[in-house]
Chains A and B, each alone.
Chain A
């Protein structure tokens, strides 16, 4: 069974640009959630999608957005990049996203904003 695949793994952008990150969940998993990991802030929840609908959203500005497709693949977009957006962006999938369901994480997309 293939794991959670995130692309690209590494990318460098400059301030003001936008970026799109992709996440392919484990087959059969319908929930995809996104987290931002930084040394200073730890793991911060961005949003969660289930069956193409955003179910939960963290406390991030509107520059951060996402979507989920009918095949459960998800993308997140960050517009007007700022230096503080440099982070490891982790995607995690689970069967239904709730309760006991374990999160299976991807390797992450490391974004550097110059």
Chain B
């Protein structure tokens, strides 16, 4: 069974600064997908970024980028130029190629200080 670990329950960052959220996972599969989802307070969870394991190039979406290290089974999220609206709980998730189940980490609560 796959597991996802987010070792940082809480993180804080100053507005306009950069922060990196950590995620490690365990799997015996070679092909899979990794996601970061964001859940703002009392709001719906939304996708931040997605990475295909077969792609070596790290995914980027505007101010959000990942550092995907397949051999180390590490998938960190970097948020550049942090904004107040980035404050949320961030979940790292793993999904097999053919499975309908996503495995989530416990989440990291990000606070952005003005």
Bound: A58/B104 CA distance, A:
13
- B 75-112 binary contact with A (CB < 8 Å = 1; else 0): 00000000000000001000111111111111100000
Tell whether A2 is near chain B: CB-to-CB under 8 Å: no
Tell whether B33 is near chain A: CB-to-CB under 8 Å: yes
Which A residue's beta carbon lies closest to that of B32?
A: A99
Please tell me if the beta carbons of A45 and B45 are within 8 angstroms of each other in the complex: no
Tell whether A105 is near chain B: CB-to-CB under 8 Å: yes
Please tell me if the beta carbons of B44 and A105 are within 8 angstroms of each other in the complex: yes
Nearest CB on B from A29, distance (A) = 12
Tell whether A55 is near chain B: CB-to-CB under 8 Å: yes
Which A residue's beta carbon lies closest to that of B6?
A: A42
Please tell me if the beta carbons of B99 and A103 are within 8 angstroms of each other in the complex: no
Tell whether B52 is near chain A: CB-to-CB under 8 Å: yes
Q: Which residues of B contact A (CB under 8 A)?
A: 33, 35, 37, 43-47, 50, 52, 91, 95-107
Q: Which residues of A contact B (CB under 8 A)?
A: 3, 31, 33, 35, 42-43, 45, 48, 50, 55-56, 58, 90, 92, 97-100, 102-108
